[in-house]
Amino acid sequence: MSLTNQRVVVIGGTSGIGLATAHAAAEAGAQVIIASSRQSSIDAALGELSADTTGHALDVLDTRAVQAFFDEVGEFDHLAYTAGESLRLMPVDGMDIDQARGFFQVRFFGALSTVSTAAEHIRPGGSITLTSGSARTRPGSGWSVASSLCGATTSLAGALAVELAPLRVNVVEPGIIRSPLWSGMSPEDQQAMYDQQAELLPAGRVGEVDDVAQAFLYSMTQSFMTGTSVPVDGGALLV
Ligand SMILES: NC(=O)c1ccc[n+]([C@@H]2O[C@H](COP(=O)([O-])OP(=O)(O)OC[C@H]3O[C@@H](n4cnc5c(N)ncnc54)[C@H](OP(=O)(O)O)[C@@H]3O)[C@@H](O)[C@H]2O)c1
């Protein structure tokens, strides 16, 4: 999968799946631009990415900043959107609806705002890849908001693929992936969750961020693929 002479923008590219995607795109020959909300995350990520990678602090909830960011970036080839914050599972009974609404801000409306601004900057042959999750089709109890969010994002990718054609738009649907997203849990609780999931999954393990990065690269380089979702979930749909 070669991305030589191509420019790749990763929103959320300072941690977890986005950082792994930035590494993989750079290894495939791309010039990578990362963005996320905290300058400290940008500095840390640039410290480990290839020397020609650039980074900008950008809060996707600030629509003017999103516009200014893409004006500065100019033309590029592939957009990966992996921004998201820790999401609390909430039973429907007694749900805090304002908090539930808030969980759509970065993942869904941030993606929509980013695409709406970025699309005109993407060169012919380029692509957009969003992030959803296997909770779309395999929700557990308490996952109503998380599952709906994934469903909305996957549907968004399909609709964008139609509206923005021939620009390709796909979505990656990870299962449980070992990443800093879970750092709100204690290390012991994280490991217990990973172990429990590994026992359930046909793959016998949870995912690693590099597993998911490969799906992002596939979406960027598979020129006949658009409007579809790529599951990377260790077989979660089967159990
Ligand atoms: N890990 C999993 O098991 C899993 C499973 C299914 C789906 N997903 C989804 O995959 C996506 C990435 O997850 P991850 O595991 O890579 O999480 P992560 O390691 O926590 O990375 C999240 C990234 O989003 C950035 N971000 C957060 N708020 C932002 C904002 N307002 N503006 C711009 N950037 C922002 C963070 O950087 P800053 O803090 O600097 O802003 C960070 O770079 C999320 O949407 C998550 O829901 C993850």
- The CA 38 to ligand 1 mean position distance, Å, reads 12
35 pLDDT more than 90: yes
The half-sphere exposure of 9 on its side-chain side, counting CA atoms within 13 A, is 31
70 pLDDT more than 90: yes
88 pLDDT more than 90: no
Q: What is the pLDDT of residue 103?
A: 96
In sequence order, which residues have a C-beta less than 8 Å from that of residue 13 and are 6 or more positions away? Answer: 19, 21, 22, 32, 33, 34, 35, 36, 45, 55, 80, 82
Percent of the chain at pLDDT > 90 equals 97
pLDDT band at 62 (very low <50, low <70, confident <90, very high): very high
Please report the DSSP string for 36-89 in residue order: ES-HHHHHHHHTTS-TT-EEEE--TT-HHHHHHHHHHH-SEEEEEE--------
Nearest CA to ligand 1 atom 32: 59
- The CA 7 to ligand 1 mean position distance, Å, reads 21
**Cross-strand bridge partners of residue 54:** 33
198 pLDDT more than 90: yes
Give one word for 79, left, alpha or beta, with left for phi > 0 and alpha for psi -120 to 50.
Answer: beta
Domains of the chain: 7-177+209-238 (3.40.50.720)
Return mean pLDDT, the chain: 97
**Ordered alpha helix ranges (H), the chain:** 16-27, 39-46, 63-73, 97-104, 110-118, 144-163, 187-200, 209-221
Place of tokens 């033309």: 75
- The CA 80 to ligand 1 mean position distance, Å, reads 12
- The CA 166 to ligand 1 mean position distance, Å, reads 28
pLDDT band at 158 (very low <50, low <70, confident <90, very high): very high
Extract the tokens encoding 47. Answer: 């410290």
Whether 107 and 157 have beta carbons less than 8 Å apart is answered as no
Q: What is the mean pLDDT of residues 70-90?
A: 95
Nearest to 174 by CA among 213, 217, 225, 218: 213
87 pLDDT more than 90: no
pLDDT in tens, 107-147: 999 999 999 999 999 999 999 999 999 999 999 899 999 99
What secondary structure letter does DSSP report for 26?
H
1 pLDDT more than 90: no
Whether 52 and 29 have beta carbons less than 8 Å apart is answered as no
Please report the DSSP string for 206-218 in residue order: -EEHHHHHHHHHH
Q: What is the pLDDT of residue 160?
A: 98
The half-sphere exposure of 45 on its side-chain side, counting CA atoms within 13 A, is 32
86 pLDDT more than 90: no
Place of tokens 């791309």: 30
Percent of the chain at pLDDT > 70 equals 100
pLDDT in tens, 215-226: 999 999 999 999
Nearest to 165 by CA among 231, 215, 119: 119
Nearest to 107 by CA among 25, 181, 42: 181
Q: Of the residues 48, 131, 137, 181, which should be mutated to test ligand 1's pocket, given the most ligand atoms within 8 Å of the CB?
A: 181
Q: What is the pLDDT of residue 185?
A: 92
